[in-house]
């Protein structure tokens, strides 16, 4: 029995050994695929294409930014946040200024600005034009002259009339004031032998006047004036023809109504000079001639 079992076990062991040997045999007809282990194939380079150079504008150097704290806020100690040392406080951006058509750069490197329509220079301090006030002083040289008389002497006269004026409108103004006239008569070295006063005569005329002016165009104006004066003068009676005379004083009232036109020239903000040419409408009742040339000075009171 033991021999039978031993033979059976050996048979079984031999069967397993043959099967294992058969499994380890290499099949020469099957080849296992191999993965490529070399470097990948590189395609040939494409021919270079000519390219145009690209213009790059020059970059402006940038200023290094300073660290700043955000505006506002509270520090950890409860106080308002302060900027860090060395930092600049943030400034609001300036409003854009209008540029000339087409843009451009001024010679100072800033963008070109459009000039204002009124012709002022940007950044220049604007000064408003002076506006005279309502009141003004008006002074006129009424007459000034030297003339000879029949006795080989000299007659002299000078008159001045200051006045206070008021502007009713921008074009219409009125003024009134006193009139002073000084005139004298010298009868020469033969006055005593002729029966005339050796010292001659000296007279002072006093009166009042009122005037009105209306500006027609710019500095051209119309002028109307009325004057009433208490005047003095002298008269001569011939006693002996060419040898003896008698002189005497005369007092009388004169009235003059003068009309004409003039031109005004400003001398700064407050002063102005006026020249007028007037026509005497009643030449027989006053000491004026037919045409009168007059020079006057105007001084503005107040204004801004």
What's the mean pLDDT in 214-240?
Answer: 89
Residue 263 has pLDDT above 90, yes or no: yes
Domain containing 217 equals 139-300
What's the mean pLDDT in 254-262?
Answer: 94
Give the model confidence (pLDDT) of 186-215 as tens digits: 887 778 777 788 878 888 999 999 999 999
| CA 140 to the chain's CA centroid | 35
- 26 — pLDDT class (breaks 50, 70, 90): very low
Closest CA to 145 of 105, 172, 185: 185
Beta-carbon contacts of residue 12 (< 8 Å; ≥ 6 apart): none
- Examine residue 3 and state whether it is found in any structural domain, yes or no: no
What's the mean pLDDT in 210-233?
Answer: 93
What's the mean pLDDT in 135-150?
Answer: 86
- Examine residue 294 and state whether it is found in any structural domain, yes or no: yes
- Burial grade of 230 (CB within 10 A; 0-12, 13-18, 19 or more): middle
- Examine residue 16 and state whether it is found in any structural domain, yes or no: no
Q: With beta carbons less than 8 A apart as the criterion, state whether 127 and 113 touch.
A: no
CATH number, domain containing residue 216:
2.40.160
- Examine residue 118 and state whether it is found in any structural domain, yes or no: no
> What's the domain count of the chain?
1
- Examine residue 32 and state whether it is found in any structural domain, yes or no: no
Residue 22 has pLDDT above 50, yes or no: no
Composition of the chain by helix, strand, coil, percent to 5: 10, 45, 50
What's the mean pLDDT in 63-71?
Answer: 57
Give the model confidence (pLDDT) of 282-299 as tens digits: 888 777 889 999 999 999
Model-level pTM? Answer: 0.53
If you write DSSP's letter for every residue of 33-54 in order, what string do you get? -----SPPPPPPPPPPPP-PPP
Residue 23 has pLDDT above 50, yes or no: no
**What's the pLDDT score for residue 95?**
62
């Amino acid at each position: 029995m033991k021999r039978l079992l031993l033979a059976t076990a050996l048979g079984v062991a031999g069967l397993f050994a043959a099967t294992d040997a058969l499994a380890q045999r290499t099949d020469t007809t099957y080849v296992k695929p191999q993965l490529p282990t070399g470097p990948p194939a590189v395609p040939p380079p494409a021919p270079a294409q000519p390219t145009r150079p690209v213009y790059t504008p020059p970059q402006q150097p940038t200023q290094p930014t300073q660290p700043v704290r955000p505006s506002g806020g509270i520090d950890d100690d409860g106080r308002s946040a302060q900027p860090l040392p060395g930092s600049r406080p943030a400034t609001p951006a300036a409003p854009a200024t209008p540029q000339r058509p087409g843009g451009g750069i001024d010679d100072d490197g800033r963008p070109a600005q459009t000039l204002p329509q009124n012709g002022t220079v940007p950044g220049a301090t604007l000064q408003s034009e002076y506006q005279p006030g309502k009141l003004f002083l008006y002074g006129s040289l009424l007459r000034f002259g030297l003339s000879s008389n029949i006795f080989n002497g000299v007659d002299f006269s000078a008159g001045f009339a200051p006045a206070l004026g008021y502007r009713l409108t921008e074009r219409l103004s009125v003024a009134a004031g006193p009139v002073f006239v000084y005139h004298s008569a010298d009868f020469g070295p033969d006055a005593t032998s002729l029966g005339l006063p050796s010292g001659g005569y000296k007279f002072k005329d006093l009166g009042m006047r009122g005037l009105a002016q209306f500006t027609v165009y710019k500095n051209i104006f119309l002028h109307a004036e009325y004057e009433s004066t208490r005047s003095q003068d002298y008269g001569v009676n011939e006693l002996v023809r060419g040898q003896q005379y008698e002189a005497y004083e005369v007092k009388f009232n004169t009235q003059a109504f003068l009309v004409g036109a003039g031109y005004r020239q400003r001398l700064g903000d407050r002063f102005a000079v006026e020249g007028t040419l007037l026509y005497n409408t009643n030449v027989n009742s006053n000491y004026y001639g037919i045409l009168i040339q007059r020079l006057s000075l105007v001084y503005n009171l107040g204004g801004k």
